[in-house]
Amino acid sequence: MTYLKPLDGTKKIQLHDIDPSYHAGLDKEEGEKRSAELLAELAELQELLYAASTHAVLIVLQGIDTAGKDGTIRHVFSSVSPQSCRVASFKVPTPEEAAHDFLWRIHKQTPAKGSMVIFNRSHYEDVLVVRVHKLVPETVWRARYEQINAFEQLLATNGTLILKFLLHISKEEQEQRLREREKDPTKAWKLSVADWKERELWDDYQKAFEDALNHCATPFAPWYVVPSNHKWFRNLAIAEILVETLRPLRQEWLKQLEARGKEELAQIKALRKDKDAS
């Protein structure tokens, strides 16, 4: 079964209609078992993606502080080869980045064919934090939805599979996670007074997320809202979507590789024949 449906822009959504504690009636043990199977398949598919090098994969992770972007990356990466995978994290723009259009730093980090890149935050920050903190006038950030769609369409028509995940947690869950960071010395490095200040803007962020989802969910770059109060369900749902997106390409990739193998073999044979003849 498929746990989550893609948003492709045909239906507008409201975030408060989506239960952040949803877990498809599974328990943690079942969920983790299924997740492990999916990650094994993902590892195989990623190797084919790399070998065939006809497609690229771009995974966008967004979510409020503590939603689990880092945890998701650790989980997804636990199975794939670092040879053809990397993470690109987007922070407050440097002066050089800020002196360019907002997509300049993003475009440089997009995946090449054969590789997978995870965006830990992304170009969406330019319609999220930038909007919430009024860093540019409304006319500027409003125009960005269309600019983002055009950019993502460019990537998609050039062979990039784009998957965008909003990690959706409740306000109560965020408070609990922030407090845990205060208690757990291994998590204390993540403590930030800014997180408590940002939390006061919770409703503004929810509205900004909702608008980003509703304006920028497209058939070529769908958004998924991932119920993320349960970390194991978040991991499972994302693993499943990755696998189900790549699986239909398996045959095409295998054919590619077979054809390439045959061609090389023919050349090796021809080389031997020439050698034998001389």
> Any contact of residue 130 with ligand AMP (CB under 6 A)?
yes
Residue 9 binding partner per list Mg ion, ligand AMP, none, with a CB distance cut-off of 5 to 8 Å that depends on partner kind:
none
**Of 10-18, 42-50, 61-69, 71-79, which segment contacts Mg ion by CB under 5 A?**
61-69
Residues 35, 232: contact at Cβ < 8 Å? yes
Decide if residue 91 touches ligand AMP (CB under 6 A).
yes
- Based on the shown chain and the rule CB under 6 A, indicate whether residue 181 belongs to the binding site for ligand AMP: no
Q: Is 234 helix (H, G, I), strand (E, B) or coil?
A: helix
Q: Of Mg ion, ligand AMP, none, which one sits near residue 92, judging by CB under 5 to 8 A according to partner kind?
A: ligand AMP
The string of DSSP letters for 17-84 reads GS-TT--TT--HHHHHHHHHHHHHHHHHHHHHHHHH-S-EEEEEEEESTTSSHHHHHHHHHTTS-GGG
Name the one residue in this structure whose structure tokens are 């690109």: 88
The three-class DSSP label of residue 253 is helix
Examine residue 193 and tell whether it contacts ligand AMP (CB under 6 A).
Answer: no
Q: Does 197 bind ligand AMP (CB under 6 A)?
A: no
Which helix H or strand E contains 270, and what residues bound it? helix 250-277
Q: Is 91 exposed, middle or buried (0-12, 13-18, 19+ CB in 10 A)?
A: exposed
- By the rule CB under 6 A, 99 interacts with ligand AMP: no
Which residue from 121, 136, 111, 46 is spatially nearest to 89, judged by alpha carbons?
A: 121
Shortest spacing between CB 109 and ligand AMP, in angstroms: 13
Residue in 68, 80, 126, 168 binding ligand AMP, rule: CB under 6 A = 126
Which span (23-31, 32-40, 86-94, 244-252) binds ligand AMP, by CB under 6 A? Answer: 86-94
Cα 55 to Cα 253: distance, rounded to the nearest angstrom? 9
Torsional class of 166: left (φ above 0), alpha (ψ -120 to 50), beta (otherwise):
beta
Question: Considering the rule CB under 6 A, would residue 90 count as an interface residue with ligand AMP?
Answer: yes
Q: Toward ligand AMP, which CB reaches closer, 183 or 197?
A: 197
Instruction: Please name the amino acid found at residue 92.
Output: V
**Which member of 125, 152, 173, 240 binds ligand AMP (CB under 6 A)?**
125
Residues 103-122 that bind ligand AMP (CB under 6 A): 121
**CA of residue 38 relative to chain centroid, distance:** 16
In whole angstroms, the minimum distance from the beta carbon of 125 to ligand AMP comes to 3
User: Which residue lies nearer to ligand AMP by CB, 78 or 120?
Assistant: 120
125, interface contact from Mg ion, ligand AMP, none, CB < 5-8 Å by kind: ligand AMP
Q: Which residues bind Mg ion (CB under 5 A)?
A: 65
